[in-house]
Amino acid sequence: MTLSFGTRLRSAMDERGPLCVGIDPHAALLDSWGLTDDIAGLERFTFTVVEALADTVAVFKPQSAFFERFGSRGIAVLERATADLRAAGGLVVMDAKRGDIGSTMAAYAETYLRKDSPLFSDALTVSPYLGYGSLKPAVDLARESGAGLFVLALTSNPEGAEVQRAVREDGRTIGATMLGHLAAENAGETPMGSFGAVVGATLGDLSSFDLDINGPLLAPGIGAQGATPADLRAVFGAAVGNVVPNVSRGVLRHGPDAAALRDSAHRYADEIRAAVGG
């Protein structure tokens, strides 16, 4: 029987430390590594990260767009990296932010959440802003495959507030509504559910939101975006034990030196563990 994503995530974070490293091979980062902005540079960058960190970091979040921009050859690199990371014991959260309706949403789910898909990932980021119910094909297939979802709820980009903090007729914000749906998905699951929220670590006091969804909270913003591990408890309160802090540039800027990448990832994991008290 396949263990649920929530179970595997809890185990990975306890064993390797509560850290997610983003894999974001954008042009400026390739250049800072001395690499060309082409498929050769993409491959060198990606597999340097994989070889340096796959057996020591709990979670990886490849940003699909930075691979898609190279066409089919870029997707092939993403497929290989996803398989290699998972083979080494890392969990892969595919950052594709898919969201659509009906058969199209079902096709996105098949791409990332069906076990025999070349891009099968442990979890997928999704956008619920065609209505939470539009995500049902992804929710159903994730349950069947033992995978998870991270739903955009309270994102760190300033533009997100105009949607996520808009108030419904019942007085709840849209963001709070999404958190409520996720809490319902995760009800009764142990050690935690598999349906998480994306909640920015840069947002400051979120005590007006109930973040106790019994599921993971993917928290971008640590490092280059300004948040620090020490901020996590103030932002996430009692839910801090389920936070999956994401660091991208803060780790990746140390490449292409593999030892420097490892040292940076270990340092962040240790600082986060100390900050959340686990």
DSSP 8-53: HHHHHHHHH-S-EEEE---HHHHHHTT--SSHHHHHHHHHHHHHHH
DSSP structural state of residue 226: S
What is the pTM assigned to this prediction?
A: 0.97
pLDDT tens digits for range 51-76 = 999 999 999 999 999 999 999 999 99
pLDDT tens digits for range 193-205 = 999 999 999 999 9
Task: Name which of 196, 137, 153, 170 is nearest 5 in CA terms.
Answer: 196
Task: Return the bridge partners of 187, or none.
Answer: none
Instruction: Tell me the catalytic residues.
Output: 97
| Torsion over CA: 116, 118, 119, 122 (sign) | positive
pLDDT values of the chain reduced to their tens digit, one per residue, 278 residues = 689 999 999 999 999 999 999 999 999 999 999 999 999 999 999 999 999 999 999 999 999 999 999 999 999 999 999 999 999 999 999 999 999 999 999 999 999 999 999 999 999 999 999 999 999 999 999 999 999 999 999 999 999 999 999 999 999 999 999 999 999 999 999 999 999 999 999 999 999 999 999 999 999 988 777 889 999 999 999 999 999 999 999 999 999 999 999 999 999 999 999 998 85
Residue where the block lists tokens 């971008």:
220
Whether the upstream peptide bond of residue 256 has omega within 30° of 0, thus cis, is: yes
CA distances in angstroms from 180 to 111, 118, 128, 146, 172, listed in the order given: 27, 32, 13, 22, 10
Task: Name which of 136, 150, 222, 148 is nearest 179 in CA terms.
Answer: 150
DSSP structural state of residue 2: P
